[in-house]
Homo-oligomer: A and B are copies of this chain.
Amino acid sequence: MTTMVKVAQLAGVSISTVSYVLNGTRHVSDETRQRVLKAIEETSYRQDALARAMRRSRTDSIGLIVSDGGEPAFAEMIRGVEETAASQGITLLLANSAEDPKREARAVEALLGRRVDGLILARAAGSGPEALSEFANSNTPLVLMDRLSADPYDQVGVENREPTMELVEHLVAQGHERILLIAGDTRVATLQERHDAFAEAMAAAGIAPSDQLTVIAFEPAETDAGIEAALSAAEPPTAVIACSTVLAAAALRRIQQRGLRMPEDIAFATFDGFAYADLFEPQLTTVRQPAFQVGATAAELLSKRIADKSGKPSVVRLAPTIEYRASTAPRPAT
């Protein structure tokens, strides 16, 4: 590899001058600068980011740990982070915890050891408060993404209460009373919030809560069993709300198996939704979160925090859009 020494020799200057030319951090006479530039060209010299980082104690890189890189929403967030970071010359170090708190902890260690300037974390479902303790002492900035908490960190996620209530009102207005909520793993803050807002909206509509009509489950098998039980109950739901893409897929499979038509036999709405959703038949009413924007905002919050570590953490909630589609069209009068 070519180093500054070779460039300096070729240009007949000191390595300091090469450095100053490279970074524009000191005035260098035009003639000298040209010689240096030419030498850089000829040797096809490339700055060593490692050595530079070490000296400056700043790596111009950030870490991102997601809990499930496979989910479309997260894939979008990753893109949002990557794009925003790249536009500022920041490299992204990516890790996937796969919802495993141990892998999450290891990823945090690995990234911190690589001295990222900051970290964005979408926490694993079962991850306890220990995961964050690492950051309490360290002065590496942390931004929580998607899955928020009460801890004093910069955070970005989506609004959950309003859209959930609006969705419930929409269904109630159509005459639905037995609405099945597939809440999933309520240890995830997002899902807990949607669950709570659902309960609140139902109460506001004067509909008595029913345990049979809420599926809380930590594992796919439990989810399936819960949905199956609800659908085969004596008084089955007339509408379903799924709180995430995975949960929606589980529900749609059961609905298809039973040959239920949407919305005639059962109305259906989901959070997050599917890629290429316009191809679904019928098209699904979806609370779509601005996932790319969530990622982009996380990267921006982190940049700001890296630039200025003082000041109170800010919590940003982005508003989802509710796309009303055929799957919750008003039922024909019976």
Contacts and interface: CB of A to CB of B under 8 A. Distances in A.
| Chain A: interface size category | 35 or more
A96 B114 contact: no
Contacts of A280: 279-280
B78 A69 contact: yes
A76 to B, nearest CB: 7
Interface stretch (A104-112, A152-160, A177-185): A104-112
Contact of A96 (B86, B93, B113, B253): B86
Q: What's the number of copies of this chain in the assembled complex?
A: 2
Nearest to A111: B91
A180 to B, nearest CB: 18
The winner among A46, A249, A253, A278 for most chain B CB atoms within 10 A is: A46
Nearest to A279: B252
A279 B110 CA distance: 39
A98 B89 CA distance: 16
Contacts of A48: 113, 115
B69 A96 contact: no
Given A114-B49, A115-B50, A274-B276, A79 B96 contact: yes
A146 interface: no
Given A49-B115, A249-B279, A93 B95 contact: no
6 contacts: A50-B59, A70-B76, A78-B94, A82-B95, A86-B96, A256-B279
Contact of A46 (B72, B95, B112, B252): B112
A47 B112 CA distance: 9
B72 A275 contact: yes
A53 interface: yes
A82 B96 contact: yes
A235 interface: no
Interface string A241-285: 000010001001100100000000000000000111011110000
A240 B83 CA distance: 35
A92 interface: yes
A91 B69 contact: no
Interface string A173-214: 000000000000000000000000000000000000000000
Nearest to A252: B279
Interface in A33-75: 44, 46-51, 53-54, 59, 61, 69-70, 72, 75
B70 A75 contact: yes
A113 B51 CA distance: 10
